[in-house]
């Protein structure tokens, strides 16, 4: 990777303030949860005591009356704890950084800053890739022009050899650059198409076996085309 990955500091500060606020509220939450848990224990104890008294024919009125009172008191405790928790949430300061501040800074400051560094890097690579592909096509066209007449002449000689009985068949006359094997294809144009195909597949997760990451755009020699 050639570009620096920046940390969004304001978000880190916002999270820190949120964590500190949550820590201050946690005790009120724990008190409310503890009160509810205690109520559940008392209700379970009441049910067990009542069930045992019926099962064994014993008198548990005194224990049940006490448990009933404890349950009523615990419900009042829960009401107070839940009220305290609600008041604490309302009274606890939100912090110096608002969620709106975080989104605005991300959109208006952080994103433009990262773009300013990132875009030139990718732009330079894509432009060189385009220039290289177009240069290959230009080379292909020049190769066709440079050797086209020679190939036609050789094809005519081959046909004459067959018609004059010098050979039993007409030789296949290849164009020297058109049959060049590049990128597993025959000819520069087909090679360019293969490159585009591999790039397309790579965007869907298929990595070529011979792929080599290029961190920086290499120095190029400009031609006169």
pLDDT digits (tens, 9 = 90+) for 79-136: 999 999 999 888 887 788 999 999 999 999 999 999 999 999 999 999 999 999 999 9
How many Å apart are CA 172 and CA 154, to the nearest integer? 10
Alpha-carbon separation of residue 68 from 9, 35, 49, 75, 78 (angstroms): 55, 16, 11, 11, 15
pLDDT of residue 224: 55
Check residue 187 and give left, alpha or beta (phi > 0: left; psi -120 to 50: alpha): left
The label of the residue with tokens 């009120």 reads 28
| Cβ-based neighbours of 180, under 8 Å, separated by 6 or more | 143, 186, 187, 188
Task: Round to whole Å and give the CA distance between 67 and 46.
Answer: 6
| 3-class SS of residue 94 | coil
Where would I find the beta strands (DSSP E) of the chain? 181-182, 185-186
The Cβ of residue 201 has, within 10 Å, a number of other Cβ atoms equal to 12
Residue with tokens 């991300």: 106
What confidence tier does 24 reach under pLDDT thresholds 50, 70, 90?
A: confident
Cβ atoms of 114 and 68 within 8 Å: the answer is no
Q: What is the pLDDT of residues 175-217, one digit of tens each?
A: 999 999 999 899 999 999 999 999 999 999 999 888 988 888 8
pLDDT digits (tens, 9 = 90+) for 48-60: 999 999 999 999 9
pLDDT score recorded for residue 198: 93
Q: What is the DSSP string of 165-213?
A: TSSSSPPP---TTTT-EETTEESHHHHHHHHHHHHHHHTTT---TT---
C-beta separation of 41 from 66 below 8 A: no
Q: How much of the chain is helix, strand and coil, in % rounded to 5?
A: 70, 0, 30
Name the residue with tokens 């058109």.
178
């Amino acid at each position: 990777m050639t570009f620096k990955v920046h940390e969004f500091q304001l978000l880190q500060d916002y999270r820190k303030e949120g964590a500190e606020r949550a820590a201050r509220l946690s005790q009120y939450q724990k008190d409310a949860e503890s009160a509810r848990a205690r109520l559940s224990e008392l209700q379970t104890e009441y049910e067990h005591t009542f069930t045992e008294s019926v099962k064994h024919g014993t008198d548990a009125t005194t224990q049940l009356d006490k448990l009933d009172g404890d349950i009523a008191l615990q419900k009042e405790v829960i009401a107070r704890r839940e009220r305290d928790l609600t008041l604490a949430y309302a009274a606890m300061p939100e912090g110096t950084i608002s969620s709106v501040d975080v989104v605005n800074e991300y959109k208006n400051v952080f994103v433009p800053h990262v773009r300013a560094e990132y875009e030139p890097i990718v732009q330079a690579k894509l432009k060189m890739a385009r220039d290289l592909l177009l240069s290959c096509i230009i080379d292909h066209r020049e190769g066709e022009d440079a050797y086209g007449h020679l190939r036609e002449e050789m094809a005519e000689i081959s046909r004459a050899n067959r018609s004059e009985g010098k050979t039993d068949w007409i030789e296949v006359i290849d164009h020297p650059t058109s049959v060049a094997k590049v990128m597993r294809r025959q000819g520069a144009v087909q090679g360019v198409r293969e490159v585009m195909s591999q790039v397309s597949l790579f965007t869907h997760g298929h990595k070529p076996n011979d792929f080599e990451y290029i961190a920086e755009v290499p120095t190029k020699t400009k031609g006169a085309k």
